[in-house]
Amino acid sequence: MTTTAEEQARRNFPRGLSQPETGFRFSMDALLLAAFAGREQVRGRVLDLGTGCGVVGLGLALDHPDFFGVGLDLNPDMLRHARENVRRLGFDERFALLRADVRGPWGLAPESMDLVLSNPPYRDPGRGRTCPDESKTLARFEHRAGLSDFVRAAGYLVRNRKSCAFIHLAERIDELLDLLRASRLQPKELLFVHQRHDSTARLVLVRAFKNGGAGLAVHPPLILHEGRGSQTRLTASALSFCPRLACNADPGNRNSRTNGGNSKKP
C-alpha cells in the first residue's frame, strides 16, 4: 500500500533522490545497470554491492515487485541517503541496508543471493588521479575497494547458477573478464555502450553466471547520443533500453545529455 507521496516519488524516480551535495553522486551508469539487469526476470534476493544512495537496487525494485533487495555500502553518509530514499519510495519492507566493507566480512551467508548488481568504482585505489588535498585523498581511498574486491564478493555471495550484473569501463573489459572467471563467474552477455555511433565504447555491461558454461553473447551495442552541439539528444534505442535516462533531459533546453550533473566521480 503506497501513499500518494510514495507514488509521486516513484513516478519521479530517479529525480528527487537524496544524495550528497558533493562527493559521489549517482550517474546514468547506475540507471543503465538497472535496465540491463531488468531485461531478465528478477526475483528472490538481490544484492546491490556498493549501493551508494541506492539508485541501482531501487530502480530495479520499482520495475520488479518480486524481490527483496539488500544494499551494501561502507559509507555511513551514503547509507543515510539510501535509507531516506528507501523510505521516500515506500520500500522499507523490501529493501534492507547493510553497512559492510565490500572486502568483507559482509554478515551474509555464502551463496545467499539470487542476483548481485554492482557499479563499482572505475579506478582502483592507488591508481589514477588523486585529490590535491592529501587528507581527503586518504579518506576517500582508505575505505575504497578495487574492482577485484567487488568481483570476489559477488562470486562468494551469489548462488550457484545464478547471475551477477556489472557495469564498468570498456577499456578495462579484459581485466573484468579475467577477474570474473577467477571467481567462477562465467560471463554470458556483454553489451558495450558507445556515446555515439562512431566513438569507441565507454562502458560495458556484463552478465555472468556462477559456474556457468562457456560461450558468451556480444549484443549489438547501445548508442547513447546522436546529433551535434545543441542538437545532441538521446537516441530512440537508448530511451527504449532505459527510459529513465531522460531524467536529466531539460525540456526547456534542447540539449538533453543526461550525464551533466550526475557524475559518479566528483
The residues that touch its own copies, with contacts defined as CB under 8 A, are 170-175, 177-178, 180-181, 186-187, 190, 192, 194, 197-201, 204, 214-221
Residue placing its CB nearer to its own copies in the complex, 130 or 195: 195
DSSP secondary structure code for residue 257 in this structure: -
Please give the biggest Cα pair distance in the chain: 51
What is the closest distance, in whole angstroms, from the C-beta atom of residue 50 to its own copies in the complex?
A: 22
Radius of gyration for the chain, computed over Cα atoms and rounded to the nearest angstrom: 18
What is the closest distance, in whole angstroms, from the C-beta atom of residue 98 to its own copies in the complex?
A: 31
Taking the CB of residue 125, how many other CB atoms lie within 10 A of it? 16
Residue placing its CB nearer to its own copies in the complex, 55 or 204: 204
Distance CA 18, CA 22 (A): 12
Residue placing its CB nearer to its own copies in the complex, 93 or 198: 198
Distance CA 148, CA 127 (A): 13
Distance CA 207, CA 209 (A): 7
Residue placing its CB nearer to its own copies in the complex, 31 or 204: 204
Residue placing its CB nearer to its own copies in the complex, 86 or 201: 201
What is the closest distance, in whole angstroms, from the C-beta atom of residue 82 to its own copies in the complex?
A: 32
Distance CA 14, CA 17 (A): 6
**Which residue's C-alpha cell is 520488479?**
64
Type and span of the H or E element at 147: helix 147-157
What is the closest distance, in whole angstroms, from the C-beta atom of residue 124 to its own copies in the complex?
A: 11
What is the closest distance, in whole angstroms, from the C-beta atom of residue 228 to its own copies in the complex?
A: 17
What is the closest distance, in whole angstroms, from the C-beta atom of residue 66 to its own copies in the complex?
A: 28
Residue placing its CB nearer to its own copies in the complex, 173 or 239: 173
Distance CA 87, CA 84 (A): 5
Residue 224 contacts residue 235 (beta carbons within 8 Å): yes
